[in-house]
Amino acid sequence: MNFSLPAFWLSLFAGLAVIAAATRIFRQDHAHRSLLAALSLTLLGLESAQTLAVFLFVFSVTYLALRPLAARKKPPKLLLGFVVLLQLLPLLFYKYGNFLTSQVFSEAPSLLRDLLIPVGLSFYTFQMVGLLIDTVKDRLPLPSFLNCLNFASFFPQIVAGPIERRSDLLPQLESFRFRLSWQALEHGLRWIILGLFMKLTLAENIASESAAITIDPANPFLVWLECLFFTFRIYYDFAGYSFIAYGIATSLGIRLTLNFLSPYWTTNFRDFWRRWHVSLSQWFRDYLYIPLGGNRSPYRPALILLVFAISGIWHGAGWNFILWGALHGTLVLLPPWTKFRIPKPLAWTLHFALVTFTWLFFFERDSTLLLQKVTTLLNPLTYSPDHLKAITAAFPNKSAIIATAAIIALSALAIALEGLTLKKPYALLTNRFTCLILIILIYLFQPAAYNEFIYFNF
């Protein structure tokens, strides 16, 4: 279910055409919801049979456990923990099996090596864990099988979020009907256009231009450039995907969480995590941080570090991800720059530089290279005129320098435009006139090479 490939849209339109015909015959609410579930499962199944099978396993565990657990006045924590562990089992197997066993033994068993993580596993598993805990803990009514299935499998967000809460998504799906609303369609389409622009025009071009540059790990300017590339790329890649998901859901009359709220316009890490991958931050807050004591815990700093380290490993099985998470946790604990009476533009610059620096821990999985690059960046002596002069030699030709400068400028311009409407996120970029320009840019600027969404790996 890759929103940037024509095959997805063809499958979706074909599915919607069948549904349009079917809803003329079957007009009951129940039929509409059944057709939505069928569409979601078909689109997921088109990914691969394994993807569908793993989803059905996690869903079955969740649904079968809901009834007996919800029937008890106070279900034992141990039992609840066991069910959550069962829900997490495929995630542990596919995502962490190789990493965990290779840390214990010198080599992971062949069964665990080169395993492909089923698409969306990290996202729908967390959503179903949330559903189970909310239903049991808050003694909420048991959702019907169909509503529960739609909640778990709603196709716009199953693959890469947002990770929705029961209270936000379930009531909308319980009254879901396929109906054509031109306003909803137009509103949703504007978010889809913004998402496609971010993914196909910005993230894809950043990926192809950066791939042509030879990065010397001893040259700090080139390492900064590499980090800057990734800073832009991961944002436009993931925010782009999230906005397409938001747009599709909006067109269908469902309101999802806006997963990004101009995160690069923040001046401290606490605020950054309120605006970056919003639904994941909320999930960790509600299901891990608060249950472990939250702000009232006497070990609050250690707890924050732990939650961020877990958030790090959620992103990928590797020590670099844990380090990245822990680094962010540490930076969250530090007082914001503004406390030092630093002017806001300077505070923004320092914070943005730190965010850019921390992405190095995210994308560099080779520990030797990571150490070398970190040392380079932190050693003032490496910032020599010779290294500055060597920047141009890293590019294959002059055209590549121009194209790189242009894509960085376009990426920065898009962020600058976000900054003009921070109170209403992305209002200018989803403006109708802007969308007309974005359509032209998407069509003319998309490169021939295609890269997978980065978050598909998570």
Partner 1 sequence: MNSSTSISKRWLLLFLAALLSTAGIGWLYASHLEPETQFWVSVFEKRRAEMATRSPAPHLLFTGDSACSFGIDARAITAATGIPAYNLGGTRQMGLRVFLDEALGQAQKGDTLILICNPDLLIEDPRTRATKAGAQMALALPRNSTFPEKIQASRPGFNHLMTLGAKLALGLPPFPYHLSGYQPLGQITTEIRATQTGRDKPLQKTKADVTAASNTLTLWNERCRAKGVTLTYLLPLELTHPDSLTENRNAKNLFLEKLADQNHGVTLITTPASGCSADPTLFADTLFHLTAAGAAQFSQDLALRIPR
Residue 149, token pair as written in the block:
């299935």
Q: Would you say 407 or 415 has its CB closer to partner 1?
A: 407
CA 173/CA 164 separation, integer angstroms: 12
Q: Determine which residue in the list 47, 164, 209, 226 makes contact with partner 1, applying CB under 8 A.
A: 209
HSE (side-chain half, CA atoms, 13 Å) at 78? 0
CA angle 289, 295, 298 (to 5 degrees): 100
Give me the least distance between CB of 70 and partner 1, in Å please.
42
Task: Kindly report each contact of residues 350-353 with a partner whose C-beta sits within 8 Å and lies 24 or more positions away, as own/partner.
Answer: 351/266, 351/267, 351/268, 351/269, 351/272, 352/264
Q: Would you say 20 or 406 has its CB closer to partner 1?
A: 406
CA 391/CA 308 separation, integer angstroms: 35
Give me the least distance between CB of 227 and partner 1, in Å please.
21
| DSSP 8-state code for residue 198 | I
CA distance to 89, 94, 200, 258, 453, per residue, from 194 (Å):
36, 33, 10, 13, 16
Give me the least distance between CB of 355 and partner 1, in Å please.
25
Q: Determine which residue in the list 22, 46, 189, 310 makes contact with partner 1, applying CB under 8 A.
A: 189
Q: Would you say 358 or 404 has its CB closer to partner 1?
A: 404
CA 95/CA 93 separation, integer angstroms: 6
Q: Determine which residue in the list 77, 110, 182, 385 makes contact with partner 1, applying CB under 8 A.
A: 182
Q: Would you say 10 or 334 has its CB closer to partner 1?
A: 10
Residue 16, token pair as written in the block:
């919607």
448 binds partner 1 (CB under 8 A): yes
Q: Determine which residue in the list 11, 34, 208, 338 makes contact with partner 1, applying CB under 8 A.
A: 208
434 binds partner 1 (CB under 8 A): no
Q: Would you say 101 or 446 has its CB closer to partner 1?
A: 446
CA 170/CA 130 separation, integer angstroms: 12
Q: Determine which residue in the list 129, 170, 193, 415 makes contact with partner 1, applying CB under 8 A.
A: 193
The piece of 12-20, 65-73, 169-177, 440-448 that touches partner 1 (CB under 8 A) is 440-448
User: Could you tell me where the DSSP H helices lie in 291-364?
Assistant: 300-315, 319-333, 344-363
The piece of 82-90, 215-223, 292-300, 442-450 that touches partner 1 (CB under 8 A) is 442-450
Contacts (CB under 8 A) with partner 1, residues 394-413: 398-399, 402-403, 406-407
Give me the least distance between CB of 415 and partner 1, in Å please.
17
The piece of 55-63, 82-90, 178-186, 255-263 that touches partner 1 (CB under 8 A) is 178-186
Q: Would you say 184 or 391 has its CB closer to partner 1?
A: 184
Please name the residues in contact with 173: beta carbons below 8 A apart, sequence gap of 6 or more. Answer: 33, 36, 147, 150, 151, 154, 254
Q: Would you say 6 or 385 has its CB closer to partner 1?
A: 6
Q: Would you say 142 or 184 has its CB closer to partner 1?
A: 184
Binding mask 137-176 for partner 1 (x = CB under 8 A): ----------------------------------------
Please name the residues in contact with 70: beta carbons below 8 A apart, sequence gap of 6 or more. Answer: 135, 136, 139, 140, 142
Q: Determine which residue in the list 201, 242, 279, 411 makes contact with partner 1, applying CB under 8 A.
A: 201
The dihedral over CA atoms of 273, 246, 413, 220, expressed in degrees to the nearest 10, equals 40
Q: Would you say 57 or 178 has its CB closer to partner 1?
A: 178
Contact predicate 3/245, CB 8 Å: yes
| DSSP 8-state code for residue 32 | H
The piece of 185-193, 242-250, 275-283, 378-386 that touches partner 1 (CB under 8 A) is 185-193
447 binds partner 1 (CB under 8 A): yes
Q: What amino acid occupies position 71?
A: A
User: Is the four-CA dihedral 374, 375, 381, 385 of positive or negative sign?
Assistant: negative
439 binds partner 1 (CB under 8 A): yes
436 binds partner 1 (CB under 8 A): yes
DSSP string across 111-168? TTTTPPPPTTHHHHHHHHHHHHHHHHHTTPPPPPHHHHHHHHH-HHHHTT-----HHH
Nearest residue to 151 via CA among 140, 9, 210, 112: 140
Give me the least distance between CB of 203 and partner 1, in Å please.
12
443 binds partner 1 (CB under 8 A): yes
Helix axis angle for 145-153 and 29-47, nearest 10°, is: 40
432 binds partner 1 (CB under 8 A): yes
Contact predicate 55/87, CB 8 Å: no
Coil, helix or strand for 394?
A: helix
435 binds partner 1 (CB under 8 A): yes
Give me the least distance between CB of 437 and partner 1, in Å please.
8
Q: Would you say 13 or 443 has its CB closer to partner 1?
A: 443
Chain residues that interact with partner 1, rule: CB under 8 A: 6, 182-183, 185-187, 189, 193, 201, 205, 208-209, 398-399, 402-403, 406-407, 432, 435-436, 439-440, 443-448
